[in-house]
Amino acid sequence: MTKVPVQMTVNGEERAEFVDSGMTLLKFLRDKIGDLTAKAGCLQGTCGTCTVLIDGEPRLACVTLAEDCRGGTIETVSGLSADAELHPLQQALLDHFAAQCGFCTPGMLMAAKALLDSNPHPDRAEVEDALSGNICRCTGYEPIIRAVLSVSGSNVCGDTAERERCDGNK
C-alpha cells in the first residue's frame, strides 16, 4: 500500500505519521496514534460512537479520511480531562448514571461537547438533536440528556411540561 504523510493536531498535540492511503480517521486514531477512545461500532456512520470533533465540528471518524484531516484540529475524549480531573460532561454522565456498557459514551461526550461549545445553554430539544446521531442501547437516552442539561445549567427537566414528564419517569 502507498504510504502518505498526514499531519494534524490531536488534542492539542501535533501528530505526523505515514499512513496507508485511504485510511479512515478512526483507524488513524486507534491504530496509528493509540487513541482508543473513539470506538469502532458500525463503520457505517450510523451509530455515532466514533464521533470526534474536527475543527470544532462533530464528525464521524469511521467515514472520514485521515488525508482529509491534514492540517486539522481533532478533539477526542482523551483530550477532555486535564490530569486527574474529569471534564464536567464526564462527571455529569457519572453523576446521572448515564453510562452502562459505555460503548456509546465517547461519541455522546464529543457530540455533547460540540453542542455546548457552540450553545452553552441548550434546551432539551437542542440536546436531543445534538445527540440524535448517537445510538445507545442501554440507558434509554434520558440519563444522558439530563446529564448534558445539568452541565448546561438548564433545568434538567426543562420547562413545566417536560418537568411533569420527567417526574413521571422517576
Q: Which is nearer to other proteins, 95 or 133 (CB)?
A: 133
Q: Which is nearer to other proteins, 67 or 95 (CB)?
A: 67
What gap in Å lies between CA 19 and CA 165, rounded to an integer? 50
CB of 84 to other proteins, least distance (A): 29
CB of 67 to other proteins, least distance (A): 5
Q: Which is nearer to other proteins, 83 or 116 (CB)?
A: 116
Q: Which is nearer to other proteins, 44 or 85 (CB)?
A: 44
Q: 99 CB contacts (<8 Å, ≥6 apart)?
A: 93, 105, 139
CB of 36 to other proteins, least distance (A): 18
Residue 163: phi and psi, rounded to 5, are -65, -40
CB of 29 to other proteins, least distance (A): 15
Using alpha carbons, select from 34, 106, 25 the residue that is nearest to residue 63: 25
CA angle (159 as vertex; 158, 165 as ends), nearest 5 = 80
Q: Which is nearer to other proteins, 22 or 102 (CB)?
A: 22
H or E element that contains 18: strand 13-20
For the chain, how many residues are written? 170
In the complex, the residues that contact other proteins under the rule CB under 8 A are 1-2, 4, 20-24, 43-45, 48, 51, 54, 57-60, 62-65, 67-68, 111, 114-115, 128-134
Q: Note whether 9 and 74 are within 8 A (CB).
A: yes
DSSP class of 55: T
